[in-house]
Structure 1
Amino acid sequence: MFGSTDSYTVPTTSTHCEPEQQATDMSCSKCEKKYKACIDNINERNTLHMDVAQSILFHLRKETRQTFKEKLLKKVCSLRNSRGGILVIHVTGRDQKFGPSLDRFDEVENDLSNMIEDDTPFCENYTRYWIDGCQGVESGAGHRYTDYILLHVSGSGSISTRDFNTYMPRYGSIIRPKARELAGVLTRVSTETKPHEENNVNKQEIKVKGREKKRLLSGYKSRDVQFKRLRLTDSQKKTETNDGNNIREQNINNITNKVMDRLSDYVTAFTKLTEGGAIYYGIEEEKGQEKERKKATRSQTGDGPPTHHYVVNGILMSPDMHEVVKANIMTDITENMLWHNEQGDKYGEDEINNLVEISFHSTSEAEVETAVGTAAGEEDTYVIEVRVKGNFRGIAFTSKTGPCADRLDDKKDTIAVDIKDWEKRIKLLQTNSPAQPVTSSPQAGQ
């Protein structure tokens, strides 16, 4: 939980926000004077404020609260990267019949904790409470609480990050990294293996040929191997009633979109592995039959319980679609991701194309020729493999802007931290060297 401290005392006279603004706005035009009055006796180098309607903070749907949370975390991140400070949050339209509980506000604790890069205790970095004495009402314990929440934010020792936009591999999943893990990635000594040469130790060989009858794989998921189901929905299959060209184009788009869903997340995770990694589309976990389930609860898909085997279903497509699908996927990887080398310089398109390979594996017993020797419209089932080559040196991000880290400029406006400055400060976590406040001004990713 948040730490506690003595409350600040603030003036008791103020105006209220307009009702229509309470429901639609997080920036009430009437809050500026009240905010200044409330912080007159707060001696902090950096003091920011924001507004949120009580209905958004405590009652409305998750999507609306997400917008508030994103704005909150951006301000907190900018304070941490500017020697710390105070964030005053005006809860507009507060119904004084409701008590002082801040349980719903405290749901952001995990996100705030993720911005503590040096593993110091949460209570040493954040303190929150209602500001005492401003439009307050007496609580049962005789204390006063108000419509202003004060969040005290301590400064970062290196660099705080809202979203790293890169992932770390685990055996069963990929996860958000810790700052110290990324420090290790950015400072690790390259092995004697040549760049992008794969380490074949304990590497699985995934064979899909001859699996057109949905035979089982002997392989399994690991930190460098992932399997993904890829099926067209009923609505997408309706394109079969249209003309041939339209069917082909829509199927290409459907396959491309399904492959690209979270692909960049896995790609960034595989770059952290010396051996690289691969994700296979068209392979899924086998489900048991109805009679095998007995008392098992039916899943939403109507399948039985998992058998813990993986089965090759493949994706129905014609050979002439391969190059188009491959080009679409590589375009997304080169244009929408950011790749940096060890020196913090951007990789070019040709260099990225040399880091990622896309292959199409037929599930048929016999070899399937390319469109040159096979009718362009002849379809077969394929497994799509996206492989990241091994011993990548540098760091890859899911977004072309790189990590999300903010700071305050001289005018107290929130701006992005320059990515090279971010990388330099992340590396300090390996040496535990103290960092000076962030002062560079270029936008991240440039």
Structure 2
Amino acid sequence: MSPAYIITIGALSIAAVLILIARFRAEPIITLFGVAVLIGLATGKAPTAAVASFENGAGHALGHIAFIIAFGTMLGRIVTESGAAERIADTLIARFGPRNIHWAMMCIGLLVGLPVFFDVGFVLLAPLAFVAARAAGQPLLLAALPLASGLSIAHALMPPHPAIMIAVEAYHASLPKMLLLGTVVMLPTAVLTGPVFARFIVPRLHIRGLSSLEAQFLERGDRGPLPPFWLSALVVLSPVLLILVGQIARFALPSGIGPWVGDLLGSTDVALVAATIFACVSLGLARGVAWADMAHRLHDCLAPIAFVVLLVGAGGGFGRALIDSGVSNVLTGLAVSWKMPILLLAWGLAAVVRLATGSATVAMSTAAAVLAPVALHTGLVAPEALVLATGAGSVAFGPVTDPVFWQIKEYLGMSVGQTLITWSVIETGISLMALAGAVAFQSMHSFF
């Protein structure tokens, strides 16, 4: 099959998903499955292979995120029902003011996003956004969009995220320089794509009612006095702290035990489970809640996330179908053959892989692996600028092939169209601003 045919199939499939769901209100999971199977059939696969491609992609996505969503929802339920989220929200509102809650959530997203993956941070902090927005009397999106923007920026631009570290090693970049460059680019990018954009777009949107998750986390109960702020913050940040401790243990402890302890504590699943148990004890049992009642609450909170989990899996299956069809390989080959300036090539290569696969991590690692030999051979571009340009391309578009697109949509109760003009615009804005930062750094590097 010709490259033009494969790219046409990929473009038509993405357009079909958008039109069927956004325009004709088709059921999203069935739509993603049906289009994914049609992609396989159109590119010459047998029916069983086409279905298997979707199943493999869905299984990979769910294997990564299903239990993260489950454990994060359990932790969020305890944090909200105990009043811990309300205590944090009240403190933030007192410090920033009700009209500035979007600035507070941006700061939280940047800080929490440094050590954890986006999906973990969003699941962990979404309940806080729900409660903070209600307490401040502001629309949910005014709190949630800057939070999501901050998490995404930290994920794409700042070490120690695995994809960034892969690019740093591939290009032989300086880690201290990358930390400084990432910080300089991260802050203005977060301001413009977070609070500034949210303040512009939110008044122009009309969200119908509450999502099932938002309604669940905003339920009020007879919970007595609110817990202290220090305990509330410690519970929310405990997964982040455990992951940080795990990363430090890898280097601080002897070689025989350091990696073992680091892998255990650094696991997001382990960190979330440990944090949930800590929350149950400190915010539940210690305040007189019976263990049976606590277990019942944890069980009940899982029902509303079933559709979210399945939709995320379907998004992963759709992305895998595009990969297996050859779209990713064709786009990668075309990007390299165009012989663009290497910074633009790094951005473009990561961007097309991102569009085809949906994964920022895959996009960054793929682009770095392809371009590293060329970059090291020519030596014309600062390796730190290449890392930043690759990271910028890896978050471009916020496409429907990314399971996070559907996660954002369901958590915030938006339509597909609303998700495109909020989340996809935020991701593209992050991408373009980070690319501009890479070009500016390279210009200064060449001058000096």
Q: TM-score, normalised by structure 1?
A: 0.21
- Higher strand proportion (structure 1 or 2): 1
Structure 1 or 2: larger helix share? 2
Pick 1 or 2: higher relative contact order, CA cutoff 8 A, min separation 6. Answer: 2
